[in-house]
Amino acid sequence: MPWWGYVLVALVFTHITIAAVTIYLHRNQAHHALDLHPLVALFFRTWLWLTTGMTTRNWTAVHRKHHAFVETVGDPHSPQLFGIRKVLWQGAELYRIEAKNEETRAKYGHGTPEDWLERHVFLHDRIGIGAMLSFNLWAFGALGLSIWAIQMAWIPFFAAGVVNGTGHWRGYRNFETSDTSTNITPWGILIGGEELHNNHHAFASSARFAVKPWEFDIGWCYIQLLSALKLAKVKKLAPRLRVDRAKHGIDVDTLRAMIATQWHVMADYAKRVVQRVHREELRHAAHDVKGQLKPVRRLISRSPRFLGERERSVLNDGLAHSRALTVVYQFQQQLGAIFTERSATQERLLQQLQDWCRAAEATGIAALAEFADRVRGYSLQPTQ
């Protein structure tokens, strides 16, 4: 083959591995967002054995523990705990350490395959990796070793390093989740859609990672293709929020829609209330106050858990110059508290939401009153 032929082979092989990780290990096994035909699942299991040596149970257990302890002590690979450099360059080692933890495997690895192949074949990772090396050398000669080396480095760097590291360090956020997850890029191609990491943390059980119209998740494209071929069945998708103008009262359906789409609701609040009021306050503020108000919009919407001492000080100083922004901030915290309430009954939560809307309308802040009116029309949009 010409030189570009070997490059193409390496890219195709590594992309199949990425597809196996995101479709089979992540969306199918860890989160049960879709079902796969047994033959498709077997192909992915076998390919991962040949190209990574990872077992389904180990990967699933480590990933589920990451979600259970995200950004806190117990998270197997948080850059907030270990530092971005360590996770980026030694993420695979952090994975291997946690995968040896039998308590993690027992608690978080449930529901994964435990058949004869898993116990007698896929458990032997060196045999699989060695078989891949032998095939590459037989098929491509000496250059097969280079292709194999790229295969062996691909997942440790891009999945264990880039997604687990950069995906909790730098990027943009559609949703202010209670962690530091980010979308690395809006186009999930190179890492199979895993680039949309903030979207995934907001709706972990969704088979589709793209949320915004301009975002692209190639892993979802493959799932749709498999579904068309009757080789996969989507079980869960992220709920979507819509506004029904015909509704004029807050009922149980309103409450359910808001709880199911709480990150959409908070993003809507940030756009329609925080951003608008902040812009109005900046326009009318004295020149010497503008500098203190400018960073407030960004800091208001961030989780207090991830505000440093300096950021808290900047936020408080800015709010001290604006009654309107202070009220907007207080109402945002109150709304978020409704979503995090665990012990209240449905009737109590409904009453709290109704009280919140009435109080918001009584503030005299137009953006807040209009948002309260918008809340009355919230309902769930059918997923497709």
pLDDT at 89: 94
Token digits for 168? 């909790």
Could you give the 3-state DSSP secondary structure of residue 202?
helix
Predicted confidence at residue 28, as pLDDT, reads: 98
User: Which pLDDT band, with edges at 50, 70 and 90, does 69 fall under?
Assistant: very high
The reported pLDDT for the residue numbered 384 is 61
| Model pLDDT for residues 153-193, shown as the tens digit of each residue | 999 999 999 999 999 999 999 999 989 999 999 999 999 99
Q: What is the mean pLDDT of residues 281-286?
A: 92
281 pLDDT more than 70: yes
List C-alpha distances in Å: 163 to 182, 266, 345. 9, 25, 38
pLDDT at 303 over 90: no
Q: Any idea which residue has 């690895």 for tokens?
A: 109
Residue 382 has pLDDT above 80, yes or no: no
What is the model's pLDDT at position 48?
97
Per the CB < 8 A criterion, the answer to whether 384 and 238 are in contact is no
Q: Residue 184: phi, psi to the nearest 5?
A: -70, -45
Token couple for 238: 């992220």
Q: Is 74 left (phi over 0), alpha (psi -120 to 50) or beta?
A: left
End-to-end CA distance of the chain: 43
**In this predicted model, what pLDDT tens digit does every residue of 2-48 receive, in sequence order?**
999 999 999 999 999 999 999 999 999 999 999 999 999 999 999 99
Exposed/middle/buried for 299, CB within 10 Å: 0-12, 13-18, 19+? middle
Mean pLDDT calculated for residue range 308-321: 93
212-269 pLDDT per residue, tens? 999 999 999 999 999 999 999 999 999 998 888 888 788 899 999 999 999 999 999 9
Helices (H) and strands (E) in the chain, counts: 21, 6
pLDDT over 90 at 283, yes or no: yes
Task: Round to whole Å and give the CA distance between 313 and 178.
Answer: 20
Burial class (CB in 10 A: 0-12, 13-18, 19+), 18: buried
CB-neighbour burial class of residue 2 (10 A; exposed 0-12, middle 13-18, buried 19+): exposed
C-alpha to C-alpha distance for 161 and 91, rounded to whole angstroms = 5
For 44-101, give the DSSP string.
HHHHHHHHT---HHHHHHHHHHHHHTTTSTT-TT-HHHH-HHHHHHHHHHHHHHHHT-
Tell me the pLDDT of the chain averaged across its residues: 94
Distance in angstroms (rounded) separating the CA atoms of residues 318 and 296: 6
194: confidence class by pLDDT, cuts 50, 70, 90? very high
Q: Which amino acid is at 25?
A: L
Please state the domain extents for the chain: 3-238, 243-381
Residue found by looking up tokens 């922004």 in the block:
325
pLDDT confidence tier of residue 206, bands split at 50, 70 and 90: very high
Mean pLDDT score, 37-65: 97
Q: Tell me: the pLDDT tens digits for 350-380?
A: 999 999 999 999 999 999 999 999 999 998 8
Could you give the percent of the chain with pLDDT greater than 70? 99
